[in-house]
Structure 1
């Protein structure tokens, strides 16, 4: 059996844990730079505030409906997610963290368990230990556990947050209820193609023949069909080494001077290098991206990238930053208002097992230096050691005018009891 544990309105729920005044009040969470709505509470959904709504257009609507608007507090959300996932590992060793607010669990050797009771134990422990409400869907396959979770979320009073598909009758009833566009793994393109075959629900999809599905679609869609039929074909994903690592961000404001842009690119390159070392990889290629504000049609637009090929693989922050800054300097144009930049490292190879270059090699002093810097930054958090061309005060410059305290990750912002 598989279970999908999903945190309800995760970002809003994290804010409510430490600010009880937000409970039962409509709450909306904004994207980076306070751009648009990316998460909201059920109360805000009922007021029909749309996802992705640009806040500058909807601020009047939010004030009129007393919707609390908050900036994204990623340190808080990340820490709360880590706490939830560590609790899940107490119920089974087989856990796949699917996103920041949901995870798949596989129950091997749990044949005698009452999964409805076990699901309630999971919900109650997470709620008691973190304050985060969840829903649990249990079924014989991953795809069906997604369906079961949607039922638990849709009918909280009837299910009490837990729904188990443990019979053929329940499976068929659930598949006839869920619309095709709500099925995990079916996107808009696939939905349109299936609509031509008069498929409106998940049950309609399972009634197609295996031969027809394999002929007209890929093995992925066939596996999804079998999973919905109750035949497990989708297993828990193992943690894989990434083939490319990217750090891209919008700026807090538009920049038209090269110094500010070089500082941002240096910070992004530092982040990529740290991620490389974390997974013990080195890169052969660096891609630097630079873009103007595409929303301001009245201004001159400039979107460009530059690829830098290295003669030897590296995971050194010093080397990657050097070439990234040189690349962005070469593609920068005067009098353009830039809004976004990014650094991508690719051509990845294992750091301790790759082809050597007989003529050029990394400076041998870089390896021990990077090890020391990583250990200090890990111990003291908040990036105590940075390159000289980085902003020493902030790592990510974002407009966050409605930011709540980092209650769990900054000792200066913890709750004070009076």
Structure 2
């Protein structure tokens, strides 16, 4: 996990492992199809990630386990995607049930219902605390030092003591493991507090102009995400770095925090200040492998107080950005873009083993003869 492909290429070839480059367009479309199928069978849902949903089954008749098998079968029939279904009285238990359904697939068939207290308790006694939702590696180590090795041990620990030693979030986890719901279903996704856009380059970049183009491109993408959630940005961070696998003397990494003159989602302003930050951290003589844009201090439109002495984004800029987004939605991403960004940059991510976009491009449809 996380080992560079070039380091294991020969071993993968020897083992006849099939390797595919990332295809985000295909992933996003298949995720949307999966979500549409599931949402047609329930009344409320929360999209948690690209491959995971929480659904509310309150008021639904019949066996929830049967419903889980129906969801699993329909998703597979409509999309070809195998999924696991976990059922619980809380979101934390549902996550654990989903994990256990896949782990014990032979006995569960990919669907596990932990609503029954006895079944829930038996499962918790066999699940490591590190597999509980929200318990990371460091927290797992600290819990192990307290003698908490299984999810059952955490569920039995005094919730108030957990809150004092750690935080209220872990206290909620303890109560959720006991079957007490503390985390609500979020039907409307909350706006992101930070927006990050970053990719590894397809090959090392040694000129300022190429790195600057990547920064401009990532800034434009981040600005689109910013406008999509109706947010404005006041602070941004620009970062660049060489490869982790270089010799120590060839490594360089740096970032710059840039304060914007006013909250904005204007691609032109964001690109201008991003390049300003890049000029202060760029060093000649290095082969850069990655650049990154981080938009911070985000404000929701209409939900923040303006400073009387602070300028604000003009109405003409709002109209221009809206027009640009409309054109790109209609004619394709990147149809209208800053002049700094070329259509086929040399620094683009190398994805030579990418599968076809079977579901989103007419020229790549799967042909069956």
TM-score by length of 1: 0.83
CA distance in 2, matches of 1:399, 1:77: 18
CA distance in 2, matches of 1:298, 1:221: 39
- Which segment is superposed worse, 291-300 or 175-184? 291-300
CA distance in 2, matches of 1:194, 1:309: 40
- 1:36-185 counterparts in 2 under 5 A? 51-110=1-60, 112-185=61-134
Contact 1:406 1:413 in 2 (8 A): yes
Structure 2 partner of 1:20 = none
Question: How big is the shift at 1:169?
Answer: 1.3
Contact 2:262 2:310 in 1 (8 A): no
Structure 2 partner of 1:222 = 171
Contact 1:386 1:392 in 2 (8 A): no
Structure 2 partner of 1:21 = none
Question: How big is the shift at 1:350?
Answer: 2.7
Structure 1 partner of 2:159 = 210
CA distance in 2, matches of 1:357, 1:243: 24
Structure 1 partner of 2:320 = 369
1:388 aligns with 2:339: yes
Structure 2 partner of 1:3 = none
Structure 1, unmatched stretches of 5+, are 1-50
Supply the RMSD in Å over aligned alpha carbons: 2.0
CA distance in 1, matches of 2:45, 2:64: 16
Alignment length, in residue pairs? 367
Structure 2, unmatched stretches of 5+, are none
Contact 2:240 2:292 in 1 (8 A): yes
Aligned mate of 1:254, from 190, 204, 219: 204
Contact 1:246 1:272 in 2 (8 A): yes
Structure 1 partner of 2:273 = 323
Structure 1 partner of 2:354 = 403
Contact 1:312 1:357 in 2 (8 A): no
Structure 1 segments of 4 or more deviating over 6 A? none
Question: How big is the shift at 1:391?
Answer: 1.6
Aligned to 1:382, what secondary structure does the other structure show? Answer: coil
Question: How big is the shift at 1:313?
Answer: 1.7
Contact 1:312 1:356 in 2 (8 A): no
Structure 2 partner of 1:266 = 216
Question: How big is the shift at 1:105?
Answer: 1.1
Aligned mate of 2:135, from 152, 164, 186: 186
Aligned to 1:230, what secondary structure does the other structure show? Answer: coil
Distance 1:358 1:179, change over 3 A: closer
CA distance in 2, matches of 1:383, 1:243: 25
CA distance in 1, matches of 2:121, 2:22: 40
Aligned to 2:125, what secondary structure does the other structure show? Answer: helix
Contact 1:262 1:325 in 2 (8 A): yes
